[in-house]
């Protein structure tokens, strides 16, 4: 939605929300179907796939609002890759923190 409004979120309308929703749902469905056929998906491969499907779905869903026909779709795809990598990084840090906490609690209960 940031790319659609060229960074000015004060002009977001219901039409923008619906367009972003359709783009996201289509990309998520395409990504999910693709993951069914892949044996192993790591964080980087997942981010690239999400970016690619977001790019394609954005390109198909609506016309660009700036630059060449593909420019907004590229920006949206890159945003999706960035968000995917940030979420995966955050998730792995939380998981690591919890596992360290559990190890500390086990060591404490074993010594008692």
Burial 91-105 (b: 16+ CB within 10 A, else e): eeeeeeeeeeeeeee
The per-residue pLDDT for range 1-29, each reduced to its tens digit, is 676 767 777 878 888 889 889 999 999 99
* Lookup: tokens for 96: 């690591």
9/70 Cα distance (integer angstroms)? 21
112/108 Cα distance (integer angstroms)? 7
Higher confidence at residue 94 or residue 109?
94
pLDDT of residue 111: 60
Crossing angle of helices 71-111/43-61, nearest 10°? 150
pLDDT of residue 17: 86
109/86 Cα distance (integer angstroms)? 35
73/26 Cα distance (integer angstroms)? 14
The per-residue pLDDT for range 37-90, each reduced to its tens digit, is 988 888 999 999 999 999 999 999 888 877 888 888 999 899 999 999 999 999
């Amino acid at each position: 939605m940031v790319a659609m409004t060229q960074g000015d979120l004060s002009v977001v309308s219901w039409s923008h929300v619906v367009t972003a929703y359709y783009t996201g749902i289509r990309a998520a469905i395409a990504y999910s179907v693709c993951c069914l056929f892949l044996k192993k998906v790591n964080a980087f491969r997942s981010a690239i796939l999400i970016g690619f499907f977001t790019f394609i779905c954005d390109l198909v869903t609506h016309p660009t609002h700036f630059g060449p026909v593909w420019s907004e779709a590229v920006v949206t795809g890159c945003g999706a890759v960035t968000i995917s990598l940030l979420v995966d990084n955050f998730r792995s840090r939380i998981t690591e923190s919890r596992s360290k906490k559990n190890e500390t609690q086990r060591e404490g209960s074993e010594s008692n």
